[in-house]
Every structure is written in structure tokens, then in C-alpha cells.
Amino acid sequence: MYGKGGLTREQRVLRGRMAAQVLHSKVDSRLHTQPAREAFLAKFEAEVDPDGILPPSERRRRAESARKAHFTRLAYLSSLARAGRKAGRS
């Protein structure tokens, strides 16, 4: 099936991969994504210490744990979804 711009899903994926590889060949990807990573962690810091009363090291430690919990939750939900799709195929 053709989607946006007359490209198939596979073609759009390949075009996106090419663009990402060109970008990473020109800039340090860690520096490129650093602002986004910092903003993402700041969200968890605000979650675990909304009043800003914890020492920065403790706030950072708790935020890292909250971030890990977030990704573990996503992995768990993904596992449930895959199991549900697999059960539907049987």
C-alpha cells in the first residue's frame, strides 16, 4: 500500500534510516540528542521532587529510578501486547 507521498511504508522507513545515518555521519549523536535527554530526565525529576526540596544527587537518583520504572512498564505492556497478538493467531 502507498501512503504519504506515494511511498510504501518500507520506502518511508528506508528513507528515514538514510536520513538518520547521514545526520549521525555529520554530528555526534550524543550531543545532538543531549537536550532531549536532559528534558526527559527533568520531567522525572519534577515528578519525584515537585517542590525541589531534595538534594540534587538524591533527586537525580530517584529520577533515574523513575525513568527505569517507566521503560520497564513500557516493556511489560509491549510483552502483554505481543502475547495477546500471539494468542489471537493460534
Q: What pLDDT, in 10s, does the model give residues 6-20?
A: 999 999 999 999 999
Predicted confidence (pLDDT) at residue 4 exceeds the cutoff of 90: no
Q: Name the residue range of residue 67's domain.
A: 4-89
- Which residue type does 21 have? Q
- Under a CB-based contact definition with an 8 Å cutoff, are residues 45 and 63 in contact? yes
Using the structure block, give the residue that is written with the C-alpha cell 504519504: 4
Predicted confidence (pLDDT) at residue 90 exceeds the cutoff of 70: no
Using the structure block, give the residue that is written with the C-alpha cell 506515494: 6
Q: What is the number of structural domains in the chain?
A: 1
Using the structure block, give the residue that is written with the C-alpha cell 527505569: 68
Number of alpha carbons in the 13 Å side-chain half-sphere of residue 70: 13
